[in-house]
Structure 1
């Protein structure tokens, strides 16, 4: 009868490595994902949007129905878009999601969508948003262990269409941006009473905002490049352009105070 020899150190090392490799194959890589809601200002009292679901379409979702996976929305319900502009936003999603390529996201709305104009509330007709959802292209990667931050940016002013007879329809104009691949422009309008619409223009791309009551403004989600600011104040003030504003990734370009002249009497 042979005596069994104890396993050598090298043999044990090989077996341990093989066990770790097998265990790694079973590990599902995940990415911490944060999705925030922001808005370009509009001349309404309120724009109330009923957000019920956010879903994403990933290369890893073959087992999900039609490839779509629902995210854990922190607070489903009504959001007044006009509360989230000039750098203010609100967190919609904060969770670990499977790593991999993400092609699309979609926003599914409920029925409680309204616009308030001069103190009067009007229902917003949103049939397509309530059924199939509002789709927007992402085409980005959820990298394992690296936090992914995404903003959903409504353009409230362009998203509401008056259809006549006091009726309004929501035809959402939405863009998305990732902080790691975009920059921003900030500044102060003087006098603040000019309350201008401010357009950041580069080529055929235009992103807009409205200065706050104190004159401050912030335009986020801008691709790197050289921009022109086209400033359109309220009646009584002259329009103004500011050229050659350089935007770089992950930086805010501060234009300082921009003086607006009054119309000569």
Structure 2
């Protein structure tokens, strides 16, 4: 996932990379475009992160026009985003849509967002603005054309989205210990290069950064290895990457400390999953 992109601020720096993947399938409704929206996530150091998603809306008019929002067909539901990692995704919207040029997507969250820590304790997630105006993602140069299918992936970064406040809200209220400040990357399904691999020991639970160094301003995407030591970064642009591993776990007493590692010259190609052999962190 690309670092430092908060969709609560409405300033989505990645918007210039946005394109919606096209498939050559016919649509069910004559003269319509087919729109699919999915959610995926990078593993984080929690047991569960549940989002109470109430509505998904698409904005077709200019940004300053408050009347341009259209509600998409979506059943309100609670999603544990940590179930959709390492190549898995949740299909949120699959609908026919009139041709047009959408400007933004908005996710409206309910009040029942929670995080469950590794110790099994569950806390409510306080969302500073997502419950009122909704969580917005800006779109640029997106055009829904009749007869085409467009697939949009919302890549949620749980590690950056959950912010611990120390001892609650400052008044000793432990139920407000964590804030939800969602960080997301919007990617097109036609950007479908991927990197997959494993690390050992799995208990190192490293953050994995893939840095695309073959462009003037490097892109950085991140995930975390899961409890088995597996990781996957997908929807990557083609190019040459450096992959860095930063352990977040602590080695047991009497064992060598976990160490950082770097793999260089990793080539990513569209429609291909690049497999990195096991990386040892001890």
Q: 2:222 aligns with which of 194, 197, 208?
A: 208
Tell me the equivalent position of 1:124: 125
8 Å contact kept, 2:50–2:114: yes
Summarize the alignment of residues 26-65 of structure 1 with structure 2, pairs less than 5 Å apart.
29-58=31-60
More deviation, 185-194/238-247: 185-194
Structure 1 unmatched runs, 5+: 1-26
Task: Provide the alpha-carbon RMSD of the alignment.
Answer: 2.3
Identify the structure with the greater helix proportion.
1
8 Å contact kept, 2:61–2:67: no
> How far has the Cα of 1:65 moved from its partner?
6.1
Rounded to whole Å, the distance in 2 between the matches of 1:253 and 1:141 is 31
Label 1:216 to 1:96 Cα distance change in 2 as closer, same or farther (>3 A): same
8 Å contact kept, 1:152–1:177: yes
Count of aligned positions: 232
Structure 2 unmatched runs, 5+: 1-28, 169-176, 251-256
> How far has the Cα of 1:201 moved from its partner?
1.1
Rounded to whole Å, the distance in 2 between the matches of 1:29 and 1:104 is 22
> How far has the Cα of 1:228 moved from its partner?
0.7
Secondary structure in 2 matching 1:102? coil
Rounded to whole Å, the distance in 2 between the matches of 1:214 and 1:114 is 24
Larger-gyration structure (1/2): 1
Q: 2:189 aligns with which of 179, 183, 206?
A: 179
8 Å contact kept, 2:38–2:152: yes
Normalised TM-score (structure 1): 0.80
> How far has the Cα of 1:200 moved from its partner?
0.7
> How far has the Cα of 1:55 moved from its partner?
0.8
Q: Segments of 4+ in structure 1 off by > 6 A?
A: none
CA offsets, 1:187-237, max 9 Å, x none?
222443443221111244221111223332210122222111001233332
Label 1:69 to 1:252 Cα distance change in 2 as closer, same or farther (>3 A): same
